[in-house]
Structure 1
Amino acid sequence: MGVKYVVAVESGLGKEKGLEILSLFVNKKKSDLPEQAHSIIKECKGSPLVVSLIGALLRDFPDRWEYYLRQLQNKQFKRIRKSSSYDYEALDEAMSISVDMLREDIKGYYTDLSIFQKDVKVPTKVTEGPRILIPGYLWHPTFNKVPRILLQRIWER
């Protein structure tokens, strides 16, 4: 098995970054966002994917801030999805399509990346071979072959 490296990784977007992303989607300054924006970011729990989805919906339906906030608070995710112009039936389908769009030389890095929650028991068999584990890293000695951009993005999180 390869060398182990443990790297602390923040879990998700912070409030300010979430508001910044939301403001870019709706084309407003952060200071001009309605009061519901703060609650929406809180309900998104740091997920860039959820913030982006809600941002895209609010761009298309700018008068629905309160509606989307209520849907998030009530865990009505199907209602959010059905009312959206999102191209995919489910998030895993969207992620699969995104991976398929990667250059061939980068796809392998994605499939070698494994993400586990902190303090969750992971069977040894799962961690065999060249893999990156987050929040702890475990990978093959070919560490230098991992694209710098991928490492930078992981480090910044």
Structure 2
Amino acid sequence: MTGGGLSDLGRIDSPRSTTPSEDGPHAILTLDPVFDALAHPERRFFLYALHAGPERTLEELAQQLTDWREERQDGDAGRNAEQTYLSLYHTHVPKLEACDVVELDDDTGVVTHGSNADKALAALAGAVQGIEQFENDAIRSPGEKMPET
């Protein structure tokens, strides 16, 4: 995958979200599936990989995650694509399907976006932007004034 990294997710066009004052607390509760989907790092990387091409096979996605893990030299770097595939198939994809974030065609192995995919990707992009802003704020000198947004 090419691109500038997770910050590429900030380019996702998402519909305007509702605020609690517009729809009450129930609007916030509709985000529960999104936060469930993003709770595990493997699912966040999976969604990022799927974002690159919204129709990819689970095998392709497992290989992509394995390649990234090797590049980052994470603690699970010894895990091969088959192990990643099994973890995705038995644990992470069913969770994402239950949250309507992805759909897996068991006959073809193709994974596509579900009805909550845009919300999950937008939340992931927002989290990345928030972290980048936090890091930028943390390196400012104590007397430096924050830019107005």
Tell me the TM-score normalized by structure 2: 0.25
Larger fraction in helix:
2
Tell me the TM-score normalized by structure 1: 0.25
